Amino acid sequence: MADSHTFVLPNSGHNFDAKASKMGMWLFLFTELLLFGGLFLVYIIYRYLNQDAFLLASFELNVWMGTINTIVLLTSSMTIAMAITALQKGNAKLAITLSWLTILAALSFLVIKYFEWSSKFEHGLFPGMDHFDGLPLGERLYFYLYFFMTGLHALHVIVGGVFIAVVIRLIKKEKVTKERYSLLENSGLYWHLVDLIWIYLFPLFYLIH
């Protein structure tokens, strides 16, 4: 009987830790959704009040770059989901490879966003520049929201990439395994949030017309 308890208790403790970890992640994601939900609400109000200005300002964005970044993030959501499945099946090597592909997608997204933002700097559309200060209020509000919301999202992309990189290291050290995969699962949940937010940002800013 004593031996039986010796084996059951650790598993029970692990299951409790995994559930607590996932619950904590869901609560954190909920606060993130509240944050971006508030920003989306602000956007909707200002867009309603400045419809023509928002439409005109949206023509300054590169729809193709936005579309490519959307595809990149959708693909990355698939690779991180596949990584979780691979680890659950005991294939740590494949899980690591797929996780690195997710990070590569994150870097690709940021590089594309860098070039996109650079073009806005060149055209003087960043807040504080002379050309920007001469724009009508509605267009300035559009670019304020564009840079703040996409910048905040890019920060989440960086955090998500670092999170996954940490998990990769733990997989290599066998601290995240087939039996203990909750940390990789949590990184996947966070990454899906990053993807979800962009799915809303893309049409709101890029597809007004």
**Exposed, middle or buried by CB within 10 Å (0-12, 13-18, 19+), for 28?**
middle
What confidence score (pLDDT) does residue 1 get? 43
Query: CA 200, 205, 208, 209 torsion: positive or negative?
Result: negative
What confidence score (pLDDT) does residue 15 get? 64
Structure tokens at 133: 């200060």
Q: What residue spans define the domains of the chain?
A: 2-206
pTM comes to 0.88
What confidence score (pLDDT) does residue 16 get? 57
CATH topology for 2-206?
A: Four Helix Bundle (Hemerythrin (Met), subunit A) (1.20.120)
pLDDT tens track of the chain, all 209 residues?
444 444 334 454 556 577 788 888 889 899 999 999 999 999 999 999 999 999 999 999 999 999 999 999 999 999 999 999 999 999 999 999 999 999 999 999 999 999 999 999 999 999 989 899 999 999 999 999 999 999 999 999 999 999 999 999 999 999 998 988 899 999 999 999 999 999 999 999 999 87
What confidence score (pLDDT) does residue 25 get? 86
Summarised one tens digit per residue, pLDDT across range 9-51 is 445 455 657 778 888 888 989 999 999 999 999 999 999 999 9
Closest by Cα among 192, 165, 189, 161 to 176: 165
Angle, vertex CA 197, rays to CA 124 and CA 178, nearest 5: 130
